[in-house]
Structure 1
Amino acid sequence: MKQLIRSLVILFLSAVMAACATSGGQSTAQKRQEVLNMKSQVLTDLYKVKPYARTIVANAPGYAVFSNANVNLIFASFSGGYGVVKNNKSGKHTYMKMGEVGLGFGLGVKDFRAVFVFHDKATMDKFIHSGWQFGGHADAAAKAKDKGGAVGGEVVVDNITIFQLTEAGLALQATVKGTKYWKDAELN
């Protein structure tokens, strides 16, 4: 059991370091482009599995897309990632980072993407400037590339529809967690 936990910790640290380093690009412009490329790919993937989401995203005041790595070690959950909020009216992008800590039962490592669709401008502005989210989460994932499956899905909370897509991982978890989203000082 100790070896499994040690392996998960090493995998988690590697995943968080990769997720928090918004990209391998050298310049700020290259890093921004990497985030925008991630956003485009996630939206493409979302529209393949949930075609109706294209209309929801297009008609909303704005949306956010995040790349996140999550590790759950028995009673604690940790995540780190990056993303971008797009104001559909102005076209402006706000680059952001995220961190998450949770308590609950689970074990595993998961690399996933999340799309937040804001149903009003006030909610989007609050997310950009305050960034906190608190809630419960339960999921199961066993996925590598296009093989396997994941249960996560879609939820509507406080004028935000959230879609989750699992990229890869093996996890079974039920946690109560707090997440902090904040502006990326380097990219804005």
Structure 2
Amino acid sequence: MFTLPKITTIAALCLFLCACASMGEGSKQDKQQKILSMKNDVLSQLYKQKPYSRKVVEGAKGYGVFSNANINLFVVSAGTGFGVVKNMATQKHTYMNMAEGGIGLGMGAKDYRIVMVFHTQQAMDHFVHNGWTFGGNADAAAVASEKGASIEGEAYFGDVTVYTFTETGLALQATVKGTKFWVDTELN
């Protein structure tokens, strides 16, 4: 059975391993360019998988694209990532970070992408300034080098449409987790 010290140790290991999702070394401009390249690659992949999504994104007030690495060990899940929100009216980019933690059953690690489409200015502003989400997650993924399969989603939360897909990883998990998004003061 899992005791509090074991769960704490597992959680610390998850957070340590998820630190691999950080931006690493480089100048501010290098990091910004890396994020913008990731954004463009993810949107191209989304448009290829779900052609109708291009109209959804282009017709929105703004959108966010995030890259996240997640690890789930038995009852603890943790992840970190980074991304950018683009305001379609101003064409301004807001660079952001993210971290998540949760509890539930599962095992595995995955590198996944999130695209959030904001249908109102209020929804986008709220996300940039508050950035917190909470929810459940159940998925199965086994993907490597464009081979394999994953169960992925498209969800609607009021004025926000969220697309998720796994880049690589092997995971089977059902968790309740919280995710915090915040503005990256170094890159803005």
**Could you state the TM-score of these two structures normalised by the residue count of structure 2?**
0.90
- What's 1:3 paired with? none
Checking the alignment, whether the CA contact within 8 Å between 1:12 and 1:70 is kept in structure 2 is: no
- What's 2:32 paired with? 32
Cα RMSD after superposing both structures: 2.1
Which contiguous aligned blocks of 4+ residues in structure 1 show a shift greater than 6 angstroms?
Answer: 9-12
- What's 2:172 paired with? 172
**Residue deviations 1:72-94 (CA, integer Å, cap 9, x gap):** 11111101000000001110000
1:42 aligns with 2:14: no
1:159 Cα deviation after fit? 1.5
1:158 Cα deviation after fit? 2.8
One-letter amino acid of the counterpart of residue 137, structure 2: H
One-letter amino acid of the counterpart of residue 81, structure 1: G
**Residue deviations 1:45-91 (CA, integer Å, cap 9, x gap):** 11110011000000000000000000111111101000000001110
**Could you state the TM-score of these two structures normalised by the residue count of structure 1?**
0.90
- What's 2:122 paired with? 122
Q: Which structure 2 residues correspond to residues 17-166 of structure 1 after superposition, within 5 A?
A: 17-21=19-23, 24=25, 26-166=26-166
Unaligned residue ranges in structure 2 (runs of 5+): 1-8
Checking the alignment, whether the CA contact within 8 Å between 1:12 and 1:109 is kept in structure 2 is: no
Give the distance between the partners of 2:76 and 2:14, measured in 1 at CA: 15
The SS at the match of 1:84 is: strand
One-letter amino acid of the counterpart of residue 136, structure 1: G
One-letter amino acid of the counterpart of residue 119, structure 2: H
Give the distance between the partners of 1:145 and 1:12, measured in 2 at CA: 25
1:12 Cα deviation after fit? 7.0
Percent identity over paired residues: 52
1:17 Cα deviation after fit? 2.5
Paired residue total: 181
